[in-house]
Amino acid sequence: MISIYLVIFITLVAALIASFAQVAFKKALGNKSMGVLGIVRAALTNKTIMAGLAAYMGSLALYLFALSHAQLSIVYPLFASTFIFIAVLSRLMLHEKLSATRAAGTALVFVGIVVIALTI
């Protein structure tokens, strides 16, 4: 049996990797409006999207590992840290604006994650 703290760490790492994958997807697609076929074509030919897909699969493997060692009601809310990571990464890597309202919402997500983590 592994420690619940290791499960928490693995879940947070999975969430961080998934967040980087999302940023890779957005960076590769840019602001282009594409149809489904265009997106499929991009997914099959764009190296950045392929790297994002690989990262996503790695994230999924870590997430499934965490699920196999802890309750879904613990792991899934911790994985919601992707909302926090995305807010930070999109600001730093994509130069997206973070409004005060969105920052407050992200802070509420953080507080919720902390509250859940304290019940473990």
Over the stretch 86-97, which tens digit does the pLDDT of each residue have?
999 999 999 999
9 pLDDT higher than 90: yes
Total of domains in the chain: 1
For 40-78, the pLDDT digits (tens) are: 888 889 999 999 999 999 999 999 999 999 999 889 999
Residue 23 domain boundaries = 4-118
**Three-state SS for 99?**
coil
The model's pTM: 0.90
What span, in angstroms and rounded, lies between the C-alpha atoms of 34 and 95?
Answer: 22
